[in-house]
A and B are shown apart, each in its own frame.
Chain A
Amino acid sequence: MDLVVAVLFQLTYVIANLALISLGLAIIFGMMRVINLAHGEFLMLGGYTVVVATNLGVNIWVSMLILAPLVVGIIGVIVERVLIRWLYGRMVDTLLATWGLSLLLVGIVTSIFGASTATTVSPPLGAVRIGDYSASGYELFLIVITAILLFAVWLTLRFTKLGLLARGTMQNAEMASSLGVSTSRIYMITFGLGAAVSGLAGGLLAPMTGVLPTIGATYIAKAFITVISGGAAILAGTTAGSVLLGGINGIFSFIAGSTFGEIALLLAAIVLLRLMPRGITGRFFRKSL
């Protein structure tokens, strides 16, 4: 019984982890059809923000929950203004440009901090007991905060004016703009928000995984697969993709080890995209956010 609970807990964490690393990418991709290959580096920058801030004596919660999204959000807005806005509608060009950006960011961070951080942030919460098993309290915290984050994004899209304008722009940018919506501003804000969410995710994961300039590479592939499998709907897509792929990854990792967990995840994504080329939300939950 304890084992079942411990495994379910772990499974939930794998799913939440996928949702957390994918959400920022999903916002940018879902809203703007921009494939941001520098997504992993936004996560990495969030992590570095936390490390630098805590080393300067800032409280770890403040650095994770406020500074990381703030800093990366601002970087996101700058990137959008300088780079992305010239490339809307040119998917291949944005791919190349953001890939270049990702190399640039890795290079800059490496030259400032070196290829490995000598500084550490430990998870600020102790272990929790599940009968005979112990699990990380911080993982529990991450599950909760991922749920809150998804809910917050839903509230924003559904009930705020910004959300309404953003959804309008997403559906038909020309129509929105002829109705007086400044689509350029909406895009800037959306990209900034997507980057901020990525920064938050990177900051939250830093105590679990440590930070390296190249840590983005370990996230980017999974985030992409999740978002593409999920399809165009930001929230429903991310959630459905994470649950399906995270569930499969978690179960196979537990039964057969990490290598098979990764293989099963990739295989599931391939089969899924063969059957539903537009992702899960291309077929189900079409009207959802």
Chain B
Amino acid sequence: MTFSRRSFLAGSSALALSSAPIIGRAQGSDKIIFASILDLSGGLDIYGAPMAETTKMAIDDINAAGGLLGREVELKLYDAQSTIQFYTQYATQAAAGDRAHTVHAGITSASREAIRPTLSRFQTLYFYNVQYEGGVCDFNNFCTGSTPAQTVAKVVPYAMNKWGKKVYIVAADYNYGQITAQWMQRFVKENGGETLDVEFFPLDVTNFGPTINKIQTAKPDFVISALVGGAHVSFYRQYAAAGMNKEIPIASTTFGVGNEQTLISAEEGDGILASYGYFEGADNATNTEFLSRLEARLGADRPVMNELAVRSYEGAMLWAEAVKMAGTPDRGPVIEALRSGLTYNGPSGAVTIDPKTNHCNMNVYIGELKDQKWNIVESYADQPPADTQLVCDLVANPNQSTFMFENGLAAAGIE
């Protein structure tokens, strides 16, 4: 038999035609697509890796319980490699390529701001499950993490009560650190204290010697830190090496979400205070059960659970509850269901969507570090995202997609 180009073309096009319906069916499968974009490598993976584990666990739990509306949920997990450019690329892929029903993504505020407009444009429901500086006012975006009015506002007065009124602030030099430092100053003032100095550090600074000298000169009652990332862990080591941890204690709004407590020794870390929406010691049956299942899944060397990891699980579950309630995974009805004041009882306690801001009311805990473990010393039930509520009202005006604190608090009309 001769094999001419014509017969080949005819044959192959027939093949293409006959296989087309199969491809079509595969695309039109009745799976519900859940996309997640996190930093699983690079400098930010101390945050991303545990979040990915709990996200996988959430999707497995949903499917083990029979999926949603009788359909299986498929997880598409992307590694943004601590690079902003990959976030935009994968967000487009998830929204336009995978046609994801929801995207849970982003760790730094910079990554969130990179993909929020994309997902808004593609009308893809977006969850950001990370504690951050507050101020996102976006109908399409649910921010489930804690914000300064929930955490900073608690730990500042607690520490001032315990140690004194004079405060020294050290923070990372980008929008999270800058804005959080402004909140800290506000809360210090509100509680009748005094901020002696505020210092910002680029993310790659590893030598904190000059600052430690300045802190000794200023003699504050305590230091409050919003330092971020691997290089900044040096601050706590050098602070302890100079014997300062015995003299001037530290409170922090970031120490612990990357499980930093395991990166420094018990001696260096003992006594540090922090406030989050979750610590492993949260006292409820759901949490105990969650932790034992996690251990069964990942073994005894599982990552320590922090707010970011647990909220990633709870964020996925909140979405699942909303899909069940709406009876469809389509964006419009799901958003409506979420904004009806939906509550999910997770390991951190009850998490309720606040329709005014698309943020969450949640339990807030203050933890004190002892032997590389957090002991909960105080807890506050059902705290509202009061900071974002000052500037955002999605009930009155749903048609918004803005980051209100982009240019700092003063620009947002907050003193």
State the A residues within 8 Å of B (CB): 3, 6-7, 10, 13-14, 17, 110, 114-118, 120, 122-123, 125-127, 132-139, 207-210, 212, 214-215, 217-218, 250, 253-254, 257-259, 261-262
| 8 Å CB interface, B207-226 against A | 207-211, 213-214, 216-217
Is B327 part of the contact surface with A, judged by Cβ < 8 Å?
no
Asked if A122 and B247 make an inter-chain contact with CB atoms under 8 angstroms apart, the answer reads: no
Asked if A210 and B210 make an inter-chain contact with CB atoms under 8 angstroms apart, the answer reads: no
Q: How far is the CA of A114 from the CA of B49 in the complex (A)?
A: 10
Asked if B213 and A10 make an inter-chain contact with CB atoms under 8 angstroms apart, the answer reads: yes
Is B344 part of the contact surface with A, judged by Cβ < 8 Å?
no
Highest count of chain A CB atoms <10 Å: which of B207, B242, B262, B267: B207
Partner of A14 from the list B204, B207, B214, B262 (CB cut-off 8 Å) is B207
Q: How far is the CA of A116 from the CA of B242 in the complex (A)?
A: 24
Asked if A122 and B237 make an inter-chain contact with CB atoms under 8 angstroms apart, the answer reads: yes
Is B332 part of the contact surface with A, judged by Cβ < 8 Å?
no
Is B233 part of the contact surface with A, judged by Cβ < 8 Å?
yes
21 contacts between A and B (CB under 8 A): A10-B213, A115-B46, A115-B49, A122-B241, A123-B237, A125-B241, A127-B243, A127-B244, A134-B244, A135-B242, A209-B206, A210-B234, A210-B237, A210-B264, A214-B42, A214-B230, A215-B231, A218-B204, A258-B201, A258-B208, A258-B211
Is B238 part of the contact surface with A, judged by Cβ < 8 Å?
yes
Q: How far is the CA of A132 from the CA of B210 in the complex (A)?
A: 16
Asked if B237 and A208 make an inter-chain contact with CB atoms under 8 angstroms apart, the answer reads: yes
Asked if B204 and A217 make an inter-chain contact with CB atoms under 8 angstroms apart, the answer reads: yes
Asked if B216 and A210 make an inter-chain contact with CB atoms under 8 angstroms apart, the answer reads: no
Partner of A139 from the list B43, B202, B209, B216 (CB cut-off 8 Å) is B209
Asked if B207 and A17 make an inter-chain contact with CB atoms under 8 angstroms apart, the answer reads: yes
Question: Which chain B positions have C-beta within 8 A of A3?
Answer: 213, 217
Known: A120-B263, A210-B230. A258 touches B238 (CB 8 A): no
Question: Which chain A positions have C-beta within 8 A of B242?
Answer: 127, 134-136, 139
Asked if B230 and A13 make an inter-chain contact with CB atoms under 8 angstroms apart, the answer reads: no
State the B residues within 8 Å of A (CB): 41-43, 45-46, 49, 173, 199-202, 204-211, 213-214, 216-217, 230-231, 233-234, 237-238, 240-244, 247, 258, 262-265, 267-268
Asked if A257 and B199 make an inter-chain contact with CB atoms under 8 angstroms apart, the answer reads: yes
Nearest CB of A to B264, in Å: 6
Question: Which chain A positions have C-beta within 8 A of B173?
Answer: 259
Residue of B nearest to A136 (CB): B241
Q: How far is the CA of A133 from the CA of B242 in the complex (A)?
A: 9
Asked if A122 and B263 make an inter-chain contact with CB atoms under 8 angstroms apart, the answer reads: no
Asked if B200 and A257 make an inter-chain contact with CB atoms under 8 angstroms apart, the answer reads: yes
Residue of A nearest to B216 (CB): A133
Nearest CB of A to B160, in Å: 24
Nearest CB of A to B352, in Å: 33
Asked if A134 and B214 make an inter-chain contact with CB atoms under 8 angstroms apart, the answer reads: no
Residue of A nearest to B219 (CB): A132
Asked if B217 and A209 make an inter-chain contact with CB atoms under 8 angstroms apart, the answer reads: no
Asked if B243 and A115 make an inter-chain contact with CB atoms under 8 angstroms apart, the answer reads: no
Question: Which chain B positions have C-beta within 8 A of A261?
Answer: 210
Question: Which chain A positions have C-beta within 8 A of B237?
Answer: 122-123, 207-210
Asked if A122 and B210 make an inter-chain contact with CB atoms under 8 angstroms apart, the answer reads: no
Known: A10-B209, A13-B209, A115-B45. A134 touches B247 (CB 8 A): yes
Nearest CB of A to B74, in Å: 27
Nearest CB of B to A83, in Å: 25
Asked if B230 and A215 make an inter-chain contact with CB atoms under 8 angstroms apart, the answer reads: yes
- With A14-B207, A127-B243, A257-B201 known, 7 other A-B pairs at CB within 8 A are A14-B209, A133-B216, A139-B242, A209-B234, A210-B237, A214-B230, A257-B200
Asked if A208 and B234 make an inter-chain contact with CB atoms under 8 angstroms apart, the answer reads: yes
Question: Which chain B positions have C-beta within 8 A of A127?
Answer: 241-244
Known: A115-B43, A208-B234. A133 touches B213 (CB 8 A): yes
Asked if A253 and B210 make an inter-chain contact with CB atoms under 8 angstroms apart, the answer reads: yes
Nearest CB of B to A106, in Å: 10
Residue of A nearest to B241 (CB): A136
Residue of A nearest to B217 (CB): A3
Known: A207-B237, A208-B234. A254 touches B204 (CB 8 A): no
Asked if B263 and A210 make an inter-chain contact with CB atoms under 8 angstroms apart, the answer reads: yes
Residue of B nearest to A210 (CB): B233
Residue of B nearest to A3 (CB): B217
Nearest CB of B to A60, in Å: 12
Residue of B nearest to A251 (CB): B210
Residue of A nearest to B198 (CB): A257
Nearest CB of B to A120, in Å: 5
Asked if A110 and B241 make an inter-chain contact with CB atoms under 8 angstroms apart, the answer reads: no
Asked if B200 and A122 make an inter-chain contact with CB atoms under 8 angstroms apart, the answer reads: no
Asked if B263 and A6 make an inter-chain contact with CB atoms under 8 angstroms apart, the answer reads: no
Nearest CB of B to A238, in Å: 18
Asked if A208 and B210 make an inter-chain contact with CB atoms under 8 angstroms apart, the answer reads: no
Residue of A nearest to B234 (CB): A209
Residue of B nearest to A110 (CB): B41
Asked if B200 and A259 make an inter-chain contact with CB atoms under 8 angstroms apart, the answer reads: yes
Asked if B241 and A120 make an inter-chain contact with CB atoms under 8 angstroms apart, the answer reads: no
Q: How far is the CA of A209 from the CA of B204 in the complex (A)?
A: 11
Asked if B216 and A134 make an inter-chain contact with CB atoms under 8 angstroms apart, the answer reads: yes
Q: How far is the CA of A6 from the CA of B214 in the complex (A)?
A: 10
Q: How far is the CA of A99 from the CA of B364 in the complex (A)?
A: 46
Question: Which chain A positions have C-beta within 8 A of B230?
Answer: 116, 210, 212, 214-215
Q: How far is the CA of A117 from the CA of B244 in the complex (A)?
A: 24
Question: Which chain A positions have C-beta within 8 A of B199?
Answer: 257-258
Nearest CB of B to A40, in Å: 11
Q: How far is the CA of A217 from the CA of B199 in the complex (A)?
A: 23
Asked if B200 and A7 make an inter-chain contact with CB atoms under 8 angstroms apart, the answer reads: no
Question: Which chain A positions have C-beta within 8 A of B217?
Answer: 3
Asked if A208 and B241 make an inter-chain contact with CB atoms under 8 angstroms apart, the answer reads: yes
Question: Which chain B positions have C-beta within 8 A of A17?
Answer: 207
Q: How far is the CA of A217 from the CA of B247 in the complex (A)?
A: 33
Q: What 5 pairs across the A-B complex have the smallest Cβ distances?
A: A127-B243, A136-B241, A253-B210, A115-B45, A209-B234
Nearest CB of A to B396, in Å: 40
Question: Which chain B positions have C-beta within 8 A of A257?
Answer: 199-201, 211
Asked if A6 and B216 make an inter-chain contact with CB atoms under 8 angstroms apart, the answer reads: yes
Asked if B268 and A122 make an inter-chain contact with CB atoms under 8 angstroms apart, the answer reads: yes
